[in-house]
Amino acid sequence: MGETDRLSHWFGTPQGRYVLEWEQRQFDNAVDDVFGFHAVQVGLPGIDFLRENRIPLKIRAGDENGCTLRATPHHLPLATHSVDLLVLPHILEFSERPHQILREAERVLIPEGQIVLSGFNPLSLWGLKRGIGTMLKRDARVFPWDARYIGLLRLKDWLTLLGFELNGGRFGCYAPPFAQARWLERFRFMENAGNRWWPIAGGTYVVRAVKRNHGMRLVTPPWRETRAKRPGLVQVARRDNVIHVRPIQRR
pLDDT reading at 157 higher than 80: yes
Handedness of CA 42, 46, 50, 54 (dihedral sign): positive
Architecture of domain 3-226: 3-Layer(aba) Sandwich (3.40)
Q: How confident is the model at residue 5 (pLDDT cuts 50, 70, 90)?
A: confident
Q: Which H or E element spans position 7?
A: helix 3-10
pLDDT reading at 150 higher than 60: yes
Neighbours of 26 (CB within 10 A): 24
Secondary structure letter of residue 54 according to DSSP: -
Question: In angstroms, rounded to a whole number, what is the distance separating the alpha carbons of residues 120 and 151?
Answer: 8
Question: In angstroms, rounded to a whole number, what is the distance separating the alpha carbons of residues 88 and 102?
Answer: 10
Q: What is the pLDDT of residue 241?
A: 46
Q: Which residues of 224-237 are buried (b: 16+ CB within 10 A; e: fewer)?
A: bbeeeeeebbbbee
The per-residue pLDDT for range 15-69, each reduced to its tens digit, is 999 999 999 999 999 999 999 999 999 999 999 999 999 999 999 998 888 899 9
Domain boundaries of the chain, sorted by first residue: 3-226
β 57-62/83-89 pair status: unpaired
The per-residue pLDDT for range 231-240, each reduced to its tens digit, is 444 454 444 4
Q: How confident is the model at residue 173 (pLDDT cuts 50, 70, 90)?
A: very high
